Chain A
Amino acid sequence: MSAEVVRLAGRPDRRQIVVNLVVSALLVAAALGLQVVREARFRLESPDATVMYLRSGEAANRLALSFRAVAADLYWIRAIQHYGRTKTSTDPARQYSALYPLLDLATSLDPRLTIAYRFGAMFLAEPFPAGAGRVDLAIALLKKGLAAEPARWQYAQDAGFVYYWWLQDYHQASQWFERAGSIAGAPWWLKAMAATTLAQGGDRQSSRVMWRQLYETADDQWVKSNSRLKLAQLDALDEIDRLAAQVARYQQATGRFPSDWDALRAARLIDAVPDDPSGTPYVLDPSQPGGVRIAVSSKLHPLPPQFLRKAGPPSK
């Protein structure tokens, strides 16, 4: 027997290979079919996405060996997914229960994961349902970031924003802006903002300056679009005041509330049906102070409550 014959002995021919492949494919298809049938009869339990096998940052640090940065990225991705899934969920019982633990683990594994502190604080501070409504945890996360990197003035700035925007605690906000401005490398306007916040905290103009600065200095698209949204909300508030003044003029002239925008247009008080900065028409609503509000379907809804007119006649 030649060496070539020995080498090729027992090797399958092409037909045999095709038969093997076809049989394998059929068996896999049959197994998949059975799986589909089983899952149709016995419902597959979906895993609880909020289950956390680890809660201690220290333990996670040890277990990750030299792969802490990748583990931090995974927890950061989980935090984003949890936030997004909860925000878009229609389940009335939804909660951001795992958001802080996930962010805490991500930042324990990689204490310099800037995005987790900055985005995390925003996600935590936003009132429910847009966020967790946990301003205390947002501040705690930013303080943790500052402890890890004391030179990162952005964390102190963000803490100032949280106090300013969500708590309307202008004294604390001013102190945080002052602290941020004192850190080497911080932009000059932070100190000015600290003074403005203390003097005129809560007015739209100083808020506008604050969001514009954040928009211009943000290095991330999400922060930029969030700042753009807040600026658009402030513009909408100003526009609502202008429209409310026209509604008041109409009421003074006719003695009744306008039935629709066409009534104001016919009275030459406005040129066209007014749209908010997101392109959704404003709504005439006699139950609202000033008689004008933003549509519930608008991307700008809800407007920041601290700037909404509480009661009384519209401004002139």
Chain B
Amino acid sequence: MPRVLGLIAYHVFKESVRDKVLYNLVLFALLMISASYLVGQLTAGQDIKIIKDLGLAAIAVFGLFISVFTGVGLVWKEVDRRSVYNVLVKPVGRQPFILGKFVGLALTLFVNLAAMTMAVYLVLVVMAWVDPGLAKTAVMEAPVVDPRLLSAVWLIYVQLLVVTALALFFSTFSSPMLSAALTFGLYVVGHFNADLAHFENVVESKTAAVVARALYYVLPNLAPFDVKTAVVHGETVAAGYVLLTTGYGLLYAAAVVALAMLVFSRRDFK
């Protein structure tokens, strides 16, 4: 089983390389380099803070696009090309097939995020080296090369695992277009669902409030994964917070992957 999982995951990674997913790194590098030049021209002070904000936001956006657009095609492509038959006739099993796909995309995301994070640090180091005055200003709030940024990147990664799981789940039974729309929809809802927890403040109906609270627990809660602003301002995110949020993300993603495995294992291929 682990060998099969590893093989499927490796092939997902290889396929993402073949699909030129890693090209986004070039785009990311260009964005960071041009931003580091433009920021100095457009603003007065705060260059380092803006580069950190932009770098973390770009990591989140690029990661989101990889998660959604690769995730929704993972299963659909195999079914559409009918290559899934060739895989499933082998001693692979439907459930390890889905799990392998998820692990493969998680690996692709990890490699991408690691490369983008290194690029952000590199740009920061170069900016501080070219203009030591920037470093002096930045130190007031947070050092230029601040390891605390890693906690924000880590939580972005865990959040993307949840998004990947959702994309994979939808791709087991619907078209890529619909899956992408549903995944993006849940991503947006996931940032608003704190409102559902206090819905009783908005409506009179107790039933509606109970339904809203139930939805609050069922829908992914993505807002707590965002600690970008805090780390950029030099705030240390408590290890307990990171651990609990990571735990929530991994468990939620695992639950959605389990559902995807269930749906896929019951699917009738004609």
Contact = CB atoms under 8 A, between A and B. Distances in A.
Contacts of B137: 219-221
B44 A66 contact: no
A73 B45 contact: no
Given A66-B222, A73-B53, A220 B45 contact: yes
Interface stretch (A34-42, A75-83, A89-97, A249-257): A75-83
Contacts of A112: 229, 233
A81 B42 contact: yes
Given A73-B53, A110-B229, A66 B223 contact: yes
Interface string A56-72: 00000010011111101
Contact of B45 (A65, A110, A119): A119
Contact of A62 (B60, B136, B192, B232): B192
A26 B46 CA distance: 44
A222 B223 contact: no
B43 A221 contact: no
A21 interface: no
Contacts of A263: none
A80 B44 contact: yes
B229 A68 contact: yes
A115 interface: yes
Contacts of B46: 73, 76, 113, 115
Interface string B14-30: 00000000000000000
A70 B53 CA distance: 6
Nearest to B188: A65
- How many chain B residues sit at the interface, stated as a range, is 20 to 34
A119 B45 CA distance: 10
B44 A219 contact: no
A220 B141 CA distance: 12
A204 B3 CA distance: 81
Contacts of A62: 192
Residue of A68, A70, A113, A221 most packed against chain B (CB within 10 A)? A70
A77 B228 contact: no
Interface string B134-145: 001100110000
B181 to A, nearest CB: 17
Contact of A80 (B42, B53, B140, B226): B42
A121 to B, nearest CB: 14
Contact of B228 (A69, A114, A220): A69
Nearest to B58: A70
A69 B188 contact: no
A219 B229 CA distance: 21
Given A65-B188, A66-B191, A69-B57, A77 B42 contact: yes
A218 to B, nearest CB: 10
B60 A66 contact: yes
B76 interface: no
B48 to A, nearest CB: 12
A70 B54 contact: yes
Contacts of A119: 44-45
Interface string B104-129: 00000000000000000000000000
A128 B27 CA distance: 43
A158 to B, nearest CB: 15
A57 to B, nearest CB: 15
A149 B192 CA distance: 25
B252 interface: no
B249 to A, nearest CB: 14
Contacts of A113: 46
A68 B43 CA distance: 18
A77 B38 CA distance: 11
B97 interface: no
B191 A65 contact: yes
B216 interface: no
Given A112-B229, A220-B137, A221-B133, A69 B53 contact: yes
B242 interface: no
Interface string B51-85: 00110110011000000000000000000000000
Contacts of A220: 44-45, 137
B130 to A, nearest CB: 15
B225 interface: yes
Interface string B161-192: 00000000000000000000000000010011
B197 interface: no
B151 to A, nearest CB: 15
A222 B44 contact: yes
Contacts of A70: 53-54, 57
A68 B233 CA distance: 13
B229 A221 contact: no
Which 3 residue pairs are nearest across A and B when measured between Cβ atoms?
A: A66-B226, A70-B57, A69-B53
Given A66-B226, A67-B57, A77-B43, 7 more contacts: A66-B191, A66-B228, A69-B57, A72-B53, A115-B45, A219-B140, A220-B137
